């Protein structure tokens, strides 16, 4: 598992610097259609592909950056989504 411990900062945030990679998960900060900041995950280990959004949205970019920096493992959102689907069966 590759881990890139690059922390995002408000000062360095840009269109080209809005991702954090942990293992095979890429976490990206976006501005959603309601003009709130949100994080989504793309997981791809060449066998499994998953795309999942966080349940949390943020009014301030700095809150979203802090949220991304607090993520410690790959498949954080996709595992949560899968567990929710299993519960709802």
pLDDT tens series, the chain, 89 aa:
555 668 899 999 999 999 999 999 999 999 999 999 999 999 998 998 889 999 899 999 999 999 999 998 899 888 887 777 777 77
Sequential DSSP letters for 40-80:
EEEEE-SS-EEEEEEEEEESSHHHHHHHHHH--STTHHHHH
- The residue extents of the domains of the chain are 19-87
């Amino acid at each position: 598992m590759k881990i890139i411990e690059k922390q995002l900062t408000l000062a360095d945030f840009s269109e080209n610097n809005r991702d954090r990679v942990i293992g095979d998960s890429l976490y990206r900060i976006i501005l959603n259609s309601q003009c709130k900041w949100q994080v989504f995950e793309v997981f791809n280990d060449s066998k499994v592909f998953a795309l999942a959004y966080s349940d949390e949205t943020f009014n301030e970019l700095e809150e979203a950056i802090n949220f991304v920096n607090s993520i410690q493992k790959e498949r954080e959102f996709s595992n949560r989504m899968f567990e929710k689907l299993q519960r709802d069966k």
